[in-house]
Amino acid sequence: MKYESVPSICPYCGCGCGILLQVLDGELVGVLPEKNHPINNGSLCIKGWNCYQFVSNPDRLKTPLMRKNGEMEPVTWDEALSFIADKLGKIKNESGPDSLAVLASAKCTNEENYVIQKFTRAVLGTNNVDHCARLCHASTVTGLVGSFGSGAMTNSVPEFLEADCILITGSNTIEQHPLIGTWLLDAKERGAKIIVVDPREIPIVKFADIYLQFKPGTDVAWLNAFINIIIQEGLEDKEFIGERTEGYEELKKTVGKYTPEFAEKVSGIPKDQLIEAAKMFASADKGSIIYSMGITQHVTGVDNVQSIANLSMLTGNVGRRSTGVNPLRGQNNVQGACDVGGLPNVYPGYQAVADENNKKKFEEAWGVTLDDKIGLTIVEMLNGVDEGKIKGMYIVGENPMLSDPDINHVKESLQKLDLLVVQDIFLSETAELADIVLPAASYAEKDGTFTATDRRVQKLTKAIEPVGKSRADWDIVCDVAKRMGAEGFDFKSSSEIMDELASVSPIYGGMSFERLGSNGGLLWPCPDAEHAGTEFLHSGKFTKGKGSFAAIDFIEPNEMPDDEYPFILSTGRLMFHYHTGTMTRRTPILASEVSTGSVEINPEDAERLSISDGEMVKVSSRRGEIEIQAQVTDKIQKGMIFIPFHFAECAANLLTNPALDPKAKIPELKVCSAQVEKIA
């Protein structure tokens, strides 16, 4: 008889809530929230409370599978890994290292992502490694590096409590980051003003002092006007601008064209309300901005992000407690997967691959010759398959068959590959297309660290043995690397991998499993073993020295409504589900709360099309069509529809536009044109 509570971190969103896995006689039987945890303090959302359920789901992959004569057949680890090592080696020799591409995983630990990118760079010999951060915050990483020198959330979550004014745009905070939502409700209770700018009337709107509804894709237009109003009113922070920034005059000149009247015409925000909101934000001593995918998933994603940075610097709201630019990261470890180098342009710790000194440093550390050519991003990899450049892909814990734009195209591309390896905990839509599927251990079955949205590196502890023959992702990848003859993959534990990561990545320099503990971890940068971690960035000085204003003009989305496709389609998530549903749809209470997708449509549009609530309708775009039930609601504006992307049977991403932001290569998942029709 044995019962214990094993401290871990919730495997869903980027809040980083502390959980206690309830283990009875080696079986995972429940979850309790960690009391006194700095983020969730004894609370959880519905997904967190139930995050143990999918772990023991009978659908878990329990043995390696290999396609033989068209059928997936169970094989031994030895057969599977030898085959992969041989085939990867063969493709590399015949078509060159850049014909291979790897997707790391925002669901895996830092240690695993470190090993995956090291394997890609040091063993396969290419920088073609990317992951789903490309689809969520690539524009944040690119944009904020340009503005501030660091692409992460500037402040920490508990600081929201002391903010005087919080501007939330493009973040459905209560549904997508419920335990950050808690801090916002508490801040409101304390007297903070809340401004919400969002195309949909999302739950946080109920608590807003000002709510501005705007037309999707017009972010730069209203943000420039917002900035212009503040300058016109003389409410800008002259001292901060003078001492800590550059490029202000150009900004001032550009935003001068964006009058409140212009913004109203383009975005639909009534000018008086915009003026009121701008004054409210600029007058606050501690003004904090929260944003998420509503800002980033556009062809102007970087422009949108840098406009947010402009506003924050203009009002002197960077580098102080309870202020800042706070992009909320979607996945439990998407911050970490970026931090440890799961990106095609940077080594661990955001050290550019194109920089000769960095190349030398990592060549020395890893004992290999490296390539200084920047690798391909997700959508570019798939396009590369079409062009015959990419022959083999190794996908770890990602499901592009549901998460990426224009799924029909994704499927065509993946089917063309000579080798597709998928490593996951369930047979996802992507795994169904694979030549080889490797069963991975879940978060409850391994040690490691996740980095939450506020740069908080926290430890998870193995609670139960891996299900079936599944193995931890790091262990599998190290095995493949060794079979390919590589050295430097003899890690005996995640802790050892963290030590190597810390030795090559200064922002993680002072971290170790021993130091991280099990109550809130450490916030990077944490350069040495004595450093206590960093709550907020850019104190006194920006990472890049002076903060850079960016003078940006408004550009329309790539695809605008027309007669054929008159609606703007936006996609996103629901409170009760998570991403491609592999975990949440296997969780009984979540599946019963919301069993399938629906398309939100405004009552006036619905009436015009004679569509009633709950009716099955056809939604189409230039890329595909789906059948889905209508949800008639006035929470969405006229001319706009919204579809969550969780559900394969009515997949929003059959419709979405793969057009990319030119700098960050993030697809425009938040705006495309679509049509809604009655079926009968």
- Segment near other proteins (CB under 8 A); pick from 44-52, 208-216, 334-342, 613-621: 44-52
Pick the closest to residue 179 from 31, 342, 30, 39 (CA basis).
39
> Least distance to other proteins from the beta carbon of 317, Å?
26
Our finding on whether 2 is near other proteins (CB under 8 A) is yes
Q: Fill in the per-residue mask, 88 to 127: x = in contact with other proteins (CB under 8 A), - = not in contact.
A: ----------------------------------------
Q: Letter for the amino acid at 601?
A: I
Our finding on whether 649 is near other proteins (CB under 8 A) is no
Nearer to other proteins, 43 or 543 (CB): 43
- Segment near other proteins (CB under 8 A); pick from 158-166, 233-241, 485-493, 572-580: 572-580
> Least distance to other proteins from the beta carbon of 306, Å?
32
> Least distance to other proteins from the beta carbon of 679, Å?
22
Window 443-482: residues binding other proteins (CB under 8 A): 459
The Cα–Cα gap between 434 and 438 comes to: 10
Angle (CA) 371 377 378, round 5°: 135
Nearer to other proteins, 53 or 430 (CB): 53
Token pair, residue 643, equals: 């579809």
Half-sphere exposure in the Cβ direction for 667 (13 Å, CA): 23
Q: Which of 10, 13, 45, 537 binds other proteins (CB under 8 A)?
A: 45
Our finding on whether 186 is near other proteins (CB under 8 A) is yes
Angle (CA) 215 218 219, round 5°: 115
- Segment near other proteins (CB under 8 A); pick from 43-51, 120-128, 145-153, 539-547: 43-51
Residue by residue, what is the 3-state secondary structure of 511-580? Answer: CCHHHHCCCCCEECCCCCCCCCCCCCCCCCCECCECEECCCCCCCCCCCCCCCCCCEEEEEECCCCCCCC
Q: Which of 576, 578, 642, 645 binds other proteins (CB under 8 A)?
A: 576
Give the position of tokens 């994704």.
410
Our finding on whether 614 is near other proteins (CB under 8 A) is no
- Segment near other proteins (CB under 8 A); pick from 81-89, 90-98, 238-246, 570-578: 570-578
- Segment near other proteins (CB under 8 A); pick from 118-126, 242-250, 462-470, 588-596: 588-596
Task: Determine contact, residues 508/526, Cβ cutoff 8 Å.
Answer: yes
Q: Which of 20, 138, 467, 664 binds other proteins (CB under 8 A)?
A: 20
Pick the closest to residue 129 from 144, 113, 145 (CA basis).
113
Q: Which of 16, 33, 336, 525 binds other proteins (CB under 8 A)?
A: 33
Q: Which of 26, 59, 79, 206 binds other proteins (CB under 8 A)?
A: 206
Pick the closest to residue 122 from 474, 332, 289, 369 (CA basis).
369
The kind and range of the H/E element at 91 are: helix 77-95
Task: Determine contact, residues 349/506, Cβ cutoff 8 Å.
Answer: yes
Our finding on whether 432 is near other proteins (CB under 8 A) is no
Our finding on whether 51 is near other proteins (CB under 8 A) is no
Helix, strand, coil content of the chain in percent (nearest 5): 35, 20, 40
What radius of gyration, in Å, describes the C-alpha atoms of the chain? 24
The footprint of other proteins (CB under 8 A) covers 1-5, 7, 18, 20, 22, 24-25, 29-30, 32-37, 40, 42-46, 48-49, 174-175, 178-179, 181-182, 185-186, 189, 203, 206-207, 459, 517-520, 574-576, 589, 592-594
